[in-house]
Structure 1
Amino acid sequence: MGIAADLAAQPAAVESQYKPKVEFDGRTGFIDSDPHLAGESPAFDELLAKHGLAGQGVRLDPDRPVRISRWQNFAGEWLQADRFYVVAEQPGAVTAERLIAQIVDHPAAHRPAVGGGPAVFNFQASDLQIGKSDNDGTDGIINRYLGSLDRAVEKYRQLRRLNSVGPVHLMFPGDCVEGNQSQNGRNWWRTDLTLTDQIAVFEQLLYTTIEAFSDDTEQLLVDVVNGNHDEAQRFQTTRPGDGWATHAANSVSKGLTRNPAAFGHIEIRTPDPERGYMTVAAGDTVFTIAHGHQWRRGKAMDWWAAQAFHGQNPGAADILVHGHYHTWELETTDKRARIQSSTLDGGSNYYREMYGSEARRGALVYLTQAGDVSDLSLV
């Protein structure tokens, strides 16, 4: 065997490959580029993007120049690798370049992630005032309500296709019937149904609303509180929770217990008889549900703050739900939200004569998850 053959038979040394490194501890570090032909350095911004540092407040260290390493490969080409020394932006430093890079590199997202469990679908209907004769009377109230219910069911099915939706939450924040106690009973002659008929109609609306959702969810919560029109009487003060809306809800609850196979996943909740409001959970969000006659217009947040200050249960709520003022509103702070119902009645001729204003009518639907409100609309 000749010398050439002997040399060819010798084990060849394994050439170690150049491996670019990245080190950054949040304050200082370096980024190595991949090998490239000498004189063709990659752009620094490209390296930041490649290693996930774009928009993270990383810049070249002005006190340490780029280190360049060069070598020749077996093909005779001169290769080069660059080490860029980097530092974090100074605290509070803001540059347009960094912000623009952050915006450009932000990945597209279909929907922001929200912590907690699955979303809850909420249906909020207040101030039906069944029996009120103004304008189109109770016929108009029922037609409006059933139309809102149909649109709410369709909205629920749309949102369920797009989101992880769990329980359905039906809320009736008072003034469900016109009653005969408002204005010291002077409203009584402006009704087209007797009081017992008003209650019977509201009970049937509860059954119909429950049946509209019951087959499409594994948990259905129904919350009802009394409004000032629902009060049973005023000339002798009884309990704060003594009203026709909660009376109807409790009757429906007893009726559902007769068929637990079909309705065992449904829970109807009303306040303690000594309270006119209640604080309850639906999914991972806590609601305080009141009618709204407990405070003057524009003072809901003050009432809520006072309740929290004195250690009452609304202090635990993420959302305050109420009606009474006949126009829908959303008011938010960083951690709290107030959702005010619209009305479903035919309007007040007296109010229109005095002020000319009328309300946009309907029920509200929205999702809640971990205390956040989304997809709010009037239906």
Structure 2
Amino acid sequence: MLRAHQLDPAEWEVTGFRSSEWTMPNGEPGVSARFSFGRRKGGPVAARPSIDELLQVFDEAPVFVPVIEEGEYTFIVALGDMQFGKIDGDGFRGTLTRAIECIDRAVVLLETYRERFDIEHVHLAWLGDHIEGFQSQGGANTWRTGLTLTEQIRLTRRLMAHAIVRFAPAVSRLTVAAVPGNHGEAVRPNGKGVTRYDDSHDTDALISVSEALALAGEEFAHVEVYVPDSDELTVVVECSGTVVAHAHGHQWRAGKHFEWWRGQAFDKTSAMHTADLLLAGHLHHELVDTNGPRTFVQVPAMESESTWWRHRTGTRGAPGLMVMVTKGGEVPVKEVVR
């Protein structure tokens, strides 16, 4: 009966049976039998695959030959939290030396990744707290800050210029972005208020570098500089079809980055609703998180440690920067450079 209805008997089983008997009008006995069917829960029993056939896949696998991925990719270099001026850890000398060395290693990595990807665009992301400043703790950090404010800013400008000079000759497009951090705030009236949210030494340092680039001539004509608009804390830059958003990270609590991002994206006038990748610093340790097609990358601090945090938790820093390769909203490469 199952075959007559084009059903495979192996996929069905009897789930019920009922039989009845009676005497028909002609005196003969009548008999009725009823069956109910249901699909087998496990379906038909599949034959076990041959392990030899599976192992043969390894023998027949072709030798991998690296090829350059199609389409133009962007190489991202993201760093922050140098906090130049602090005496913590190996101090500002150690931080400056490490930052220069990490940037130089990133230049070498660019050539390494060009063996896999077509890269003609490098993006430098400066994620805030480049100086220790004297505003974040209301001046309580003054004794533990060994550089003047102008010296801290000067180091930041020179490091930004160093990165641009190292990468500019290697690519046809170089974009550079900076966002304000809490330590870089220019003014805090009465220790609590703020001026405009973009009033920051972190971003002004890059603006000063861009003015110098404008005087440098054609050699740096392909360099583009991005900072937040007036009274804003974030900026987005298009990188090979990936919309890269930048924030320092002091706008949300630890672990709440996607909740903050969703809130910003709800405002259609904000460019954050178009972002594929969000870069941040502030919390001084590396973190990569994904939610569907969106990626969040938090970079480690460049300073070696926060002595206050070490006394509180016993944790020292793991300083460095991060490099990424991106195209079309995807970030197939994320690497820490120390």
With structure 2 as the length reference, what TM-score do the two structures score? 0.79
* Equivalent residue, structure 2, for 1:313: 271
Quote the RMSD (CA, aligned, Å). Answer: 2.5
* Equivalent residue, structure 1, for 2:164: 210
1:103-122 correspondence to structure 2 within 5 Å: 104=57, 110=65, 117-122=71-76
The counterpart of 2:305, out of the listed 321, 341, 347, is: 347
Matched, 1:268 2:225: yes
**In structure 2, distance between residues paired with 1:310 and 1:210:** 34
* Equivalent residue, structure 2, for 1:176: 130
Structure 1 residue 152, shift from structure 2 partner: 0.7
Q: Is contact 1:114–1:370 with CA below 8 Å preserved after alignment? A: no
Structure 1 residue 112, shift from structure 2 partner: 9.3
Deviations 1:19-75 (A, max 9, x none): xxxxxxxxxxxxxxxxxxxxxxxxxxxxxxxxxxxxxxxxxxx9xxxxxxxxxxxxx
Change (3 A) 1:313 1:342: same
* Equivalent residue, structure 2, for 1:58: none
Q: Is contact 2:239–2:327 with CA below 8 Å preserved after alignment? A: no
* Equivalent residue, structure 1, for 2:211: 254
The counterpart of 1:230, out of the listed 156, 175, 184, is: 184
The counterpart of 1:239, out of the listed 162, 184, 196, is: 196
Matched, 1:323 2:277: no
Structure 1 residue 299, shift from structure 2 partner: 0.5
* Equivalent residue, structure 2, for 1:138: 92
Change (3 A) 1:253 1:96: farther
**In structure 2, distance between residues paired with 1:295 and 1:373:** 23
Structure 1 residue 359, shift from structure 2 partner: 2.2
Matched, 1:334 2:289: no
**Over 3 Å off, 4+ runs:** 92-98, 103-115
Q: Secondary structure at the match of 1:150?
A: helix
Q: Is contact 1:223–1:270 with CA below 8 Å preserved after alignment? A: yes
Q: Is contact 2:73–2:117 with CA below 8 Å preserved after alignment? A: yes
Amino acid corresponding to residue 110 of structure 2 in structure 1: Y
Matched, 1:290 2:244: no
Higher deviation after alignment, 273-282 or 174-183: 273-282
Deviations 1:90-144 (A, max 9, x none): xx9998759x88x9488666569977x3111010011011111112211011111
Change (3 A) 1:132 1:96: farther
Structure 1 residue 309, shift from structure 2 partner: 2.0
Deviations 1:288-310 (A, max 9, x none): 10000000111011000111123
Amino acid corresponding to residue 339 of structure 1 in structure 2: V
**In structure 2, distance between residues paired with 1:351 and 1:293:** 17
The counterpart of 1:370, out of the listed 318, 328, 332, is: 328
Change (3 A) 1:273 1:215: same
Change (3 A) 1:290 1:281: same
- The structure that has the greater radius of gyration is 1
**In structure 1, distance between residues paired with 2:296 and 2:47:** 38
Structure 1 residue 260, shift from structure 2 partner: 2.6
**In structure 1, distance between residues paired with 2:48 and 2:258:** 39
Q: Secondary structure at the match of 1:178?
A: coil
Amino acid corresponding to residue 123 of structure 2 in structure 1: H
**In structure 1, distance between residues paired with 2:63 and 2:265:** 40
The counterpart of 2:118, out of the listed 156, 164, 167, is: 164
Deviations 1:271-293 (A, max 9, x none): 10210111221221101100000
**In structure 2, distance between residues paired with 1:112 and 1:262:** 31
Matched, 1:299 2:217: no
Change (3 A) 1:148 1:95: farther
Change (3 A) 1:358 1:217: same
**In structure 2, distance between residues paired with 1:114 and 1:262:** 29
Amino acid corresponding to residue 258 of structure 2 in structure 1: M
Q: Is contact 1:288–1:320 with CA below 8 Å preserved after alignment? A: yes
Change (3 A) 1:192 1:373: same
Matched, 1:196 2:154: no
Matched, 1:358 2:312: no
Structure 1 residue 159, shift from structure 2 partner: 0.8
Change (3 A) 1:109 1:233: same
Amino acid corresponding to residue 327 of structure 1 in structure 2: H
* Equivalent residue, structure 2, for 1:28: none
Q: Percent identity, aligned pairs only?
A: 35
**In structure 2, distance between residues paired with 1:234 and 1:96:** 72
Q: Is contact 1:176–1:226 with CA below 8 Å preserved after alignment? A: no
Change (3 A) 1:268 1:356: same
**In structure 2, distance between residues paired with 1:313 and 1:132:** 34
**Which segments of 5 or more consecutive residues in structure 2 lack a partner in the other structure?**
1-7, 9-42
With structure 1 as the length reference, what TM-score do the two structures score? 0.71
Structure 1 residue 157, shift from structure 2 partner: 1.1
* Equivalent residue, structure 1, for 2:27: none
**In structure 2, distance between residues paired with 1:110 and 1:334:** 30
* Equivalent residue, structure 1, for 2:101: 147
Q: Is contact 1:114–1:369 with CA below 8 Å preserved after alignment? A: no
**In structure 1, distance between residues paired with 2:67 and 2:200:** 42
**In structure 1, distance between residues paired with 2:106 and 2:47:** 47
